[in-house]
Chain A
Amino acid sequence: MRSLQDWIPGWGPWRMGQHLKGAIVATLFLLLMIIANWQFDHIWTSLLLTASKFFGATVTYTTRDLDFLVSSLFVIGMLAGLLFYSRFSCRRRRLAEHLSSVPESQWTIVWRQFRKNPLAVAGTIVILILYLIAFLCPFLAPYDPVEQGDRVEERLLPPSSTHLLGTDRFARDVFSRIIYGSRISLLVGFLAMSIAVTIGTIVGAVAGFYGGWVDSLIMRFVDMMLSFPTLVLIITVIALWREQSIWIIITVIGLMSWMGVARLVRAQFIALKEREFFQAAQALGAGNSRLIFRHLLPNSMTPIIISATLRVGNTILLEASLSYLGLGVQPPTPSWGNIVFDTKGNLFTEWWMPLAAGLAIVITVVGYNLVGDGLRDALDPRLREIN
């Protein structure tokens, strides 16, 4: 009986006294269920279509079908994930009650600290909602973002109940375009930052761990990279490619923004190498890879995470500037940057379009920065004393 109750999403955590967690899980589940019901036809068709394509049927499969598939899978996956999550958080909680004292992991402590900062929590919620929108955009957007309406009748319409933010000069629905644009910004932000952090961490780790001439060589290279004006360099590199795709932009942005992380990681490694636990690990016979991956890297995670979060905002801005210059994401694919670019001829008459796209950029970047600041405060034990 009790185990059956556990499967009700959110009920377990709620009953165990974690009301907030329970409420969030339940709301999210309900929301996704509503979407799944409402878009049931779409989900079903996209799954069927993919299945028939997979088994060799000749069907036309467009990128829009792919969009629907990704979103359908996301909805299904999230629903299942939430079910299992509430089930297992129940069990873990119950298990913990049996033990006399539950050891607190550092992340529990950090989370408790993070939660005290309302701005950081607000930022987190904003970012999560944005990701939700990005994953669900085919279901949320009222129109196809690239479909053009009647070029005479429906061009440059002001906001109305049919087109919430009006239409652009190709008679496309701006609201839908902005919803779809979130995918580009978040994708660029996330992937470019992952590339930058990965390269930066590896380079910084090698420099910091081995030191000596390896370090000098690598750091001079980093200095050289830093002395290039980023935007100009990115524009040049992108201009060298014939066709422009989002993946090239992500890669280039990633390749141009790892230097800060490399410096950070190197500094952290050099400092940690002087710490006694590092010597102790050496004295107990740990090899290089163990020293790096178990002792140095985990202890460097704090600054890496903070700088990664804070830099996502920069990356998003960089993509927006590139798109605004016409070098980023190419039309008709919508991105917030090229929506602003599209409207530059009628900036003052149709001001709501650039305003909406610009606001979207601002909200995302501010959200990320708030999360980053919150993380820094929560992860830094020296700041913890003051609060």
Chain B
Amino acid sequence: MECPQLQVRNLRTHFFTENGLVRAVDDVSYVLNKGQTLGLVGESGCGKSVSALSLMRLITPPGKIVGGEILLDDLNLLDIPEPQMRQIRGNWISMIFQEPMTSLNPVFTIGNQIMETIRVHQKVSRAEARDLTIDVLSKVKIPAASNRIDEFPHQMSGGMRQRVMIAMALACSPKVLIADEPTTALDVTIQAQIMKLLADLQNDLHMSILLITHNLGLVAEASDHIAVMYASKVVEYTSTRNLFTSPLHPYTQGLLTSVPTLGMPKNRELNVIPGQVPNPLYFPSGCKFHPRCPLAENQCQEEEPLLKEVNPGHWVACHMIKGEVTPLQESDHDH
């Protein structure tokens, strides 16, 4: 039933800045199953977006992917030459961005831009590309698509532009869609519409979605599995149900208890995780969470914990939780 579409193994992306080495993504692994959604959750600066850009191989200097594997089906994306990678971008893997207001080229009509994407990857005539564009625009539920195709980005609202972005990303029916905070810039009602739209499209097109966000409510609704990232590392990976019912890593627990809930007494203080997010230039030794961790012991300062499978399908990187160290990969697929 569940078979992996995209596997990231021990991915490391480092930035060689003038101030020193920044390990933005350090030994990160996760699995995205076919037709499912994986939520990548973490606070700002924990390496979510860099890991997404690494999947597309769009890391620019001073950044560099220094190790790991990215397997799309059985193809390692880190091995193939750039011209071939260009064919994969937009065709097999596509991406939508956080800011719909600036993600579209302001000087061309939206139809023009979608047609361009189609014509990069498929040998079709202009007229055919236009038809395909109108198709995909109606797929993302833009009303009167055949009229709006000739509009410029500035003539559309934020929600509409995000729909156009999604249409553009879907124009070539990719296998994997990376959604980097797709609804952060939108208001709540539009947010719900866009998430609904993504879910519907996922069902229709059988694509896998990597949903990057810091919004826990969003992933709870939309994703099948969740990878929690803290300071360039995946600290917990499991199914959404598991994560919300029995979170194991102290960071995940802290995150979940710090979310205000409806019906909570008005003047009760929110739970917070003490301390601050560490500066990526000076990560603490051992477990990067130990200065803020309520369970920390001596071992945590010295030794970096590895991901271990605590329960079937539930990986945690913490010394205080017993389990066997196993590589995170094609997990519970027994067929």
* Interface residues, chain A, with chain B CB atoms under 8 Å away: 99-101, 103-106, 211-212, 275-277, 279-287, 290, 294-295, 298-299, 301
Contact = CB atoms under 8 A, between A and B. Distances in A.
A276 B102 contact: yes
A105 B155 CA distance: 10
B102 to A, nearest CB: 5
Interface stretch (B28-36, B37-45, B113-121, B202-210): B113-121
B226 to A, nearest CB: 23
Nearest to B87: A285
Interface of B: 56, 58, 61, 86-91, 94-99, 102-109, 116-117, 120-121, 147, 150-152, 155, 165, 168-169, 178
Given A279-B97, A280-B97, A283-B56, A294 B105 contact: yes
A163 B97 CA distance: 70
Given A103-B152, A106-B107, A299-B107, A284 B169 contact: yes
Nearest to A211: B61
B94 A284 contact: yes
B102 A284 contact: no
Contact of B105 (A104, A211, A295): A295
Contacts of A295: 105
Contacts of B150: 103
Nearest 5 pairs between A and B by C-beta? A285-B90, A284-B90, A285-B89, A283-B95, A276-B103
B90 A105 contact: no
B88 A285 contact: yes
Contacts of A299: 105-107
B139 to A, nearest CB: 17
B61 A284 contact: no
B107 A285 contact: no
B90 A283 contact: yes
A216 to B, nearest CB: 13
Given A276-B99, A299-B107, A294 B152 contact: no
B241 to A, nearest CB: 31
Nearest to A281: B105
Contact of B86 (A105, A280, A287, A301): A287
A100 B116 CA distance: 26
A280 B61 contact: no
A300 B195 CA distance: 35
Given A277-B106, A285-B117, 13 more contacts: A101-B147, A276-B98, A277-B104, A277-B105, A280-B97, A283-B58, A283-B90, A283-B95, A284-B95, A285-B90, A285-B120, A285-B121, A294-B116
Contacts of B103: 276-277, 279-280
Contacts of A101: 147
A279 B91 contact: no
Contacts of B117: 284-285
A284 B86 CA distance: 8
B120 A290 contact: yes
Nearest to A296: B105
A214 B205 CA distance: 44
Contacts of B116: 286, 290, 294
9 contacts: A103-B109, A276-B97, A280-B104, A280-B168, A283-B89, A283-B178, A284-B117, A285-B89, A285-B90
B102 A285 contact: no
B88 A280 contact: no
Nearest to B117: A284
A100 B143 CA distance: 14
Contacts of B152: 103-106
Given A275-B102, A280-B165, A284-B94, A298 B107 contact: yes
| Most chain B beta-carbon contacts within 10 A, residue among A99, A281, A283, A299 | A283
Contacts of B104: 277, 280
Nearest to A298: B107
| Most chain B beta-carbon contacts within 10 A, residue among A280, A281, A298 | A280
Nearest to B101: A276
B298 to A, nearest CB: 44
Nearest to B169: A284
A285 B91 contact: yes
A282 to B, nearest CB: 5
A286 B120 CA distance: 7
A84 B112 CA distance: 28
A284 B147 contact: no
Contacts of A276: 97-99, 102-103
Contact of B155 (A103, A211, A283, A284): A103
A212 to B, nearest CB: 7
Contacts of A212: 61
Contacts of B169: 283-284
A294 B105 CA distance: 9
Contacts of B56: 282-283
